[in-house]
Chains A and B, each alone.
Chain A
């Protein structure tokens, strides 16, 4: 029996894997100690658990455990990396290069840097959501200290040319930070092979708990340091004060271990399901994939259904299928997705987009149900859409004087 509702919003967050919860449970009650309590068994047990989790997390990205700074999540990691580098390397320069499709946690942090007197270059992306490497290199100046480019985009799943970016960074002696929130645990991320200097990610996007994440800070070739953004007890090698979220960290570690073991087979399974979904939905007329089809996370599909509006579309099935849309109506800002617009999509197509984020618990039955119900709703709403009627009648919609409001 198919159980409803179906969850296809795994880019927003993922459920905790029961194996993760099981690993965490003793650390709420039995081993509740503070990992910084050095003088009794409660503290020792907590510290031991944190050390073990740190190894599990480090292993997933190919780093040394000492290079892992535990945080409250990816937003904190973005802030700590960018502001921390800006403060720490102030004598070297004040210029940061990022890109227009970054997550708000990066973009808004960069805006803050500008207010603090820093200089930021926002690189554009092409129609697939990829930056141009030549453009990146051309943007580097003597005062450039950091390149901040995400590993994979949260809306489209587009994977950036990380190794090419890091090669450029290396060549010019600039640090490379990547927000790998959507990528870690889904595709192989290896800080050594990928040439990453700083990397943030979070547990709740990979079947771990919310409220815990990590910032990788390279210790060798080069040795990177970030200025702490929170004052306190000097935890995490002085870079992030605050009593460690031991329970969350244990869960995070377990989630990393599971991802490590299952990533390869899951990527194969999920890309097959995603392709099935996408192929079926593209059978509808005037449906388009947003982002790169070639360089993409295996579990993501972002599709625009022209002439129907995203929120209106979701309302047709959102009791039973959980998705996201790039439509303005679903955002707090009432603006359509800036990511899709940066890809060159008109506002109308951005309004018409749905993001499908498959996950570990997605089944083929759920995908079949989704194909059926999304298709039916698109057809139903097109029957109701004046734009669809105009399209079918061959009316040139650009010639209409729309009453902008």
Chain B
């Protein structure tokens, strides 16, 4: 399978690999996927609670190159966005940006799920109601 240059670059030079302190109230953590399925993504955001802006984002991913690249790209897009805008990130934008082949679309869905899970974790920690998302069902 031939991958796009952008995808390969994100795989070879992933952005924002790492771990944020999940005990902090300002950090939201999303852990999605399962080892048996061959991909697990952990995506974390740090939110400035006065402005509602995402100041930092980190990921760690167990998975194929597309899963790694999707999560790396997601963290790039998250940084500097407001939480509300972050919710608007659609998996198809990731598919387009990385030119993911059809069999790898689930990697982008996983990244979108990780973003939502991280935001909900942040909301929960800060006494906000969790958002109920519709299933994408492309897994």
A residues touching B (Cβ–Cβ < 8 Å)? 307-309, 311-312, 315-316, 327-329, 334, 336, 346-348, 351, 381, 383-389, 397, 400, 402-405
Contact = CB atoms under 8 A, between A and B. Distances in A.
B60 interface: yes
B80 interface: no
Nearest to A307: B62
A329 B37 CA distance: 10
Contacts of A385: 40, 60-62
Interface in B43-99: 60-65, 67-68
Interface string B12-49: 00100101000000000001111111111110000000
Interface of B: 3, 8, 11, 14, 17, 19, 31-42, 60-65, 67-68, 103, 106, 110, 113, 139
A400 to B, nearest CB: 8
Contact of A386 (B36, B60, B106): B60
Contacts of B37: 328, 347, 404-405
Nearest to B8: A315
B42 A312 contact: no
Given A348-B36, A402-B33, A312 B67 contact: yes
A307 B36 CA distance: 11
B13 to A, nearest CB: 11
B27 to A, nearest CB: 15
B31 to A, nearest CB: 7
A400 B29 CA distance: 14
Nearest to A404: B34
Most buried by B among A381, A397, A405: A405
A278 B34 CA distance: 28
A316 B12 CA distance: 7
A99 B41 CA distance: 36
Contacts of B8: 315
Given A347-B36, A403-B33, A387 B106 contact: no
A336 B36 CA distance: 9
A405 B63 contact: no
A315 B42 CA distance: 20
22 contacts: A307-B62, A309-B39, A309-B64, A311-B65, A315-B3, A315-B65, A327-B64, A348-B36, A348-B38, A384-B60, A385-B62, A386-B60, A387-B62, A397-B35, A402-B34, A403-B32, A403-B113, A404-B34, A404-B37, A405-B32, A405-B33, A405-B110
A393 to B, nearest CB: 10
B40 A386 contact: yes
A133 to B, nearest CB: 32
Contacts of A384: 14, 17, 60-61, 68
Contacts of A312: 11, 62-65, 67-68
Contact of A315 (B11, B34, B139): B11
Nearest to B11: A315
Given A312-B68, A402-B35, 5 more contacts: A334-B103, A400-B31, A402-B40, A405-B37, A405-B110
Contacts of A388: 62
A319 to B, nearest CB: 9
A311 B67 CA distance: 10
Given A386-B42, A387-B40, A405-B139, A311 B64 contact: yes
A405 B34 contact: yes
Most buried by A among B62, B64, B67, B68: B62
Contacts of B11: 312, 315-316
A382 to B, nearest CB: 9
A387 to B, nearest CB: 5
A367 to B, nearest CB: 24
Contacts of B63: 309, 312
Contacts of A329: 38, 64, 103
A346 B34 CA distance: 12
A389 B64 CA distance: 17
Nearest to B12: A316
A381 B103 CA distance: 22
A397 B36 CA distance: 11
Nearest to B7: A315
Contact of A403 (B3, B19, B34, B61): B34
A321 to B, nearest CB: 15
A402 B38 CA distance: 12
Contacts of B38: 309, 311, 327-329, 336, 347-348, 351
Listed from nearest, the 4 A-B pairs whose CB atoms lie closest are A402-B34, A405-B139, A347-B36, A315-B65
A372 B11 CA distance: 19
